[in-house]
Amino acid sequence: MKKILIPIVIFYFLVLAQTSFLVHFSILGVVPNISLILAVFWNFIEKTKNYFGLYNAFLVGFFLDVFSQRFFGFYILGLLAMAIFLKFIIRKYVQIPFVEKN
């Protein structure tokens, strides 16, 4: 249960900070999307047989969709597709020393 609830709280506050706080700190006119980077990073380092990264990608996508003007699903589907693609690529072609494959 904790494993399900903690990411909800973390990503919710990260997206809130992204839309209300980090907006004020742009680097060359661009504000890095921390929650999105975190979701990608999680899927990158996670063992390929684990699917917790997909859940995180869904959560980040959901909160980004809530606080954006785009249609619902833009970030959810985009991030999930990215997570699945990343897992597929890592499983098939990439060998990272500190990440176990199976």
Partner 1 sequence: MANKKKIITFVFGLLLIVFLLNVFQKEVRGFFYWFSSPIQKVLWRIGDKSAGFFKSIVSADNLKKENSELKQKNQKLLAEIVKLKELEKENNILREALGAGLQKEFNLILTEIISKDVSQDYILIDKGFKEGILENKPVINQENVLVGRISDVYNNFSKVILISNKKVSFDTKIYAEGKPAESEQEEDISGLASGQGGSKISFGFVPREKNLTQGDIVITSVLGGIFPKGLLVGTIGKIEKSDLEPFQEAEIQPFFDIKSSTFLFIVSDF
Q: Give residues in contact with partner 1 (CB under 8 A).
A: 16-26, 29, 31, 33, 64-73, 76-77, 80
When the beta carbons of 66 and 96 are compared against partner 1, the nearer one is 66
Q: Alpha carbon of 16 to those of 8, 50, 81: distances in Å?
A: 12, 28, 23
Cα 31 to Cα 19: distance, rounded to the nearest angstrom = 10
Nearest to partner 1 of 19, 44 (CB atom): 19
* Side-chain-side CA neighbours of residue 2 (13 Å): 0
When the beta carbons of 29 and 97 are compared against partner 1, the nearer one is: 29
Least separation in angstroms between residue 62's CB and partner 1 is 8
